[in-house]
Amino acid sequence: MRADIAFAFALAVLCYLAWLLRAVLLLLYVSALAAVVLTPVVQATSRFKVGNVRPFKGRAILILLLAVAGGLTAFGFFAFPPVIRDLHEFAKEMPTRLPTFLAKLKRIPFADQLNTDEITTKAQDFISNAATYILLSIKNWAGAIFSIAMGLILTVYFILEGDVAYRWGLSFFPPEKRPRLDAALQRAEVRMGQWLLGQGSLMLILGLTSTIVYLSLHVRYAYALGVLTGLLNIIPVMGAALSIALALMVAAIDSWGHVLGIAIFYVVWVQVENSFLVPRIMGTRVGLPGISILVALLLGSELGGVLGAIVSVPTAVLVSVLIDEYLVQKPKETEADQSEALEVD
């Protein structure tokens, strides 16, 4: 009884500590998961040959990090200055443009009951101080950048020393049960790598297509919005919807025709993605029904926000493999099935 009480007390203390350190544990989990899905990319890069020479051998991780850092730097350099400049210009034009907009708004049924004076005051205050709000939030941006940097560093360490950590984790299980768990985790790793390949293909297709559409419609910040649309597609279902909503808000500044064009593009994209791209690109890579992906997305976003939503699908893949291995009761082969299989061989 004393041992049981001590074990229950220690377990409660560990659960409480895990709750206090949930942000750090989430960062560790996301970094480890990123290392699992990026290790095949690093290995493929290191095997790349130019003639008989492998120029990236031993430098694949550094090249990958430099590519990510360069892409983020270029995106920030080209995306943010035009937005801040337009906010200042829009704030100057607000006194003349807002009354025209409100006059059009009153023509909509039931919109004439809105308090236009209050809307005008709040809109002018928000837009005139929007750049100031962005600059004052630099503390939050610094914290986010620090978390991203630590996540990248942890991912590199997990890629370099992940095998040692993996073997150490397996050592907690009895020796006779390690081969089965190892085989299940290896299958999960393969499926998660295949998910990354398929998801990356969908992100690239959506990013290029949306950029072409935004440029053809002459939408502001077309390149930045196209890149953001492709990147946010890593979040299943919700990522593309959020990016398209942002594009609709930007398009509404200039023309309702632009809004209609983007809405039509999104409707067409959803149909093409669900009926053509996903079945052919993803295929059986993930091996999860749609309802499982939606449930995983809801749970991940509730527990971990954006990071939880990003890792929800690979986590669901890992959980499904473990459930299939240890909980699903598979029927044993009958003698007739075995004899039939022998005859086919």
pLDDT in tens, 234-248: 776 677 778 888 888
Do 61 and 144 have their domain in common?
yes
Among the listed residues 162, 161, 38, the one whose alpha carbon sits nearest the alpha carbon of residue 46: 38
Average pLDDT over residues 279-285: 63
Distance CA 77, CA 73 (A): 6
CA distance 138 to 155: 25
- Written as one string, the DSSP assignment of 139-166 is HHHHHHHHHHHHHHHHHHHHHHHHHHHH
Task: Write down the pLDDT at residue 123.
Answer: 59
Q: Kindly report the average pLDDT of the chain as a whole number.
A: 76
Looking at the fold, whether 81 and 167 belong to one and the same domain comes out as: yes
Q: Is the pLDDT higher at 321 or at 333?
A: 321
Domain of 39 in residue numbering reads as 20-109+116-172
Q: For the residues 279-299, what does the mean pLDDT come to? A: 72
Q: Would you say residue 340 has pLDDT above 50?
A: yes
pLDDT 10s digits, 117-150: 565 566 556 555 555 555 555 556 666 777 777 8
DSSP state of 330: P
Could you give phi then psi for residue 50, rounded to 5 degrees?
-120, 100
Question: Residue 179: is its pLDDT beyond 60?
Answer: yes
For residue 12, name the pLDDT band (cuts at 50, 70, 90).
very high
Residue range 220-237: mean pLDDT, rounded? 81
Q: Tell whether 74 is covered by a domain.
A: yes
150 and 182 in a single domain? The answer is no
Shared domain for 58 and 200, answered yes or no, is: no
Residues 237, 149 share a domain = no
Q: How many domains does the chain have?
A: 2
Is the same domain home to 98 and 230?
no
* Shared domain check, 92 and 234: no
Question: Are both 120 and 58 inside the same structural domain?
Answer: yes
In a domain, 25, yes or no: yes
Considering the domain architecture, whether residues 190 and 143 belong to the same structural domain is answered as no
Together in a domain, 137 and 182:
no
Does residue 10 sit within a domain?
no
> Cβ(278)–Cβ(199) under 8 Å?
no
Q: What is the DSSP letter of 279?
A: I
